[in-house]
Amino acid sequence: MKTVSSKKLEERRDRLKVILPKLKKLYPQARCSLDYKDPFQLIIATILSAQCTDERVNKVTPELFKKYPTPGALAAAEQSELEKDIQSTGFFRNKAKSLRGMAAGIVQNHGGQVPRTMEELTHLPGVGRKTANVVLGNAFNIDEGVVVDTHVTRVAGRLGLTKHTDPVKIEQDLMQIVPREEWTLFSHLLIHHGREICIARKPKCSICPLLPQCPAGQKFIKTGEAR
């Protein structure tokens, strides 16, 4: 993979030093928008959130958590019944398979406890790096990486913090410029900004505090692509 020049890295770091405080001021309560009470609930909710809104997931999970309160209970669930329980989140067959496999892996290999390392988490069925980052950062306060979803991809690109569209490469770019202790929070900040102001179509650039630091926003204003 082509590496970013040291000059470009410094430019991005300098931009971030201005952007990050503004985002923190704009979204002081930024946090994970999935509802959960423990790491097991969070890993379930995160798997369900693929190609689905967090709002929809939060409507499904309360009954799901009651019905399958432990990894053992979820691992023993009937595939067809679990599919019905989560149908409204979309891709329910694959998600049900992933949930059962994940739970079985926790029971068989981790004594019923959600593991705390990237390697162990990503060895569980249905758990990729993004899901593992969500769990590690939010349930265990371990900054192992940067969660890259559609909002982070869009906002980071518009802000000139990355030129990539591949989540793995975007994460690598962000990890080079964002202080490690801010990795988890930074994802939440970009996600909130992507939902509130830097939306996919007709972003609200005219009211965005980040406009002076945003190459895309300045272009959108000139071309009329922004509100």
Query: Average pLDDT in the 200-219 region?
Result: 95
Chain centroid to Cα 36, Å, comes to 15
Q: For a pLDDT cut of 90, what percent of the chain falls above it? A: 96
pLDDT tens, position by position, 1-15: 456 789 999 999 999
* Angle at alpha carbon of residue 205, lines to 227 and 216, rounded to 5°: 115
Q: Does the pLDDT value for residue 122 go beyond 60?
A: yes
pLDDT in tens, 32-42: 999 999 999 99
What pLDDT score was predicted for residue 57? 98
Long-range contacts of 213-219 (CB under 8 A, 24+ apart): 213/15, 213/18, 213/19, 213/159, 214/158, 214/159, 214/160, 215/158, 215/159, 215/160, 216/157, 216/158, 216/159, 216/160, 217/158
pLDDT at 72: 98
* pLDDT reported for residue 2: 57
Average of pLDDT values for 169-184?
A: 98
**pLDDT of the residue at 223:** 93
Identify the pLDDT of residue 64.
98
pLDDT tens digits, one per residue of 61-78: 999 999 999 999 999 999
Summarised one tens digit per residue, pLDDT across range 41-62 is: 999 999 999 999 999 999 999 9
- DSSP for residue 5: P
Which domains occur in the chain, in start order?
Answer: 6-30+146-223 (1.10.1670.10), 39-139 (1.10.340.30)
Alpha-carbon distance of 4 to 164, in angstroms, equals: 11
Looking at residue 5, its pLDDT comes to 85
pTM: 0.94
Using CB atoms within 10 A of its CB, is residue 29 exposed (0-12), middle (13-18) or buried (19+)? Answer: exposed
**So which residues are the catalytic ones?**
130, 149
Mean pLDDT of the region 70-97: 98
In this prediction, residues 16-25 reach a mean pLDDT of: 98
